[in-house]
Amino acid sequence: MRAARLPSRSVNREVTLPLIVDDRGALQVSAADVSKLLRTVGARWLHLVEAGEQGLDEDTVAALTIELAKLADRIDVACIAHSSGTQ
């Protein structure tokens, strides 16, 4: 397992994401799948709040969902930069 480091501007530290690779170093989980998962989790949380799920604070869920979307955006931007050679 390897890790990708992405700068986190909001808290001034790096976020480390584990990446699953095989014994030849081939990536087994695409960045697109990871960013989609992050957005899906946030959307599911919002759906639960809208449905009146007990124990979920609307403001907290909104803030967390925004942060997940920001992280997904940073992953997408980093991948675009990597694939275009503008790291």
- Per-residue pLDDT reduced to its tens digit, 29-62: 778 888 999 999 999 999 999 999 989 999 999 9
For 8, counting Cβ atoms within 10 Å of its Cβ (0-12 exposed, 13-18 middle, 19+ buried), the class is middle
pLDDT of residue 15: 52
Please, which residues have CB within 8 angstroms of residue 75's CB and are 6 or more apart in sequence?
6, 17, 31, 34, 35, 38
* Domain ranges, ordered by start, for the chain: 2-84
pLDDT tier, 83 (very low <50, low <70, confident <90, very high otherwise): confident
Q: What is this structure's pTM?
A: 0.66
pLDDT of residue 64: 95
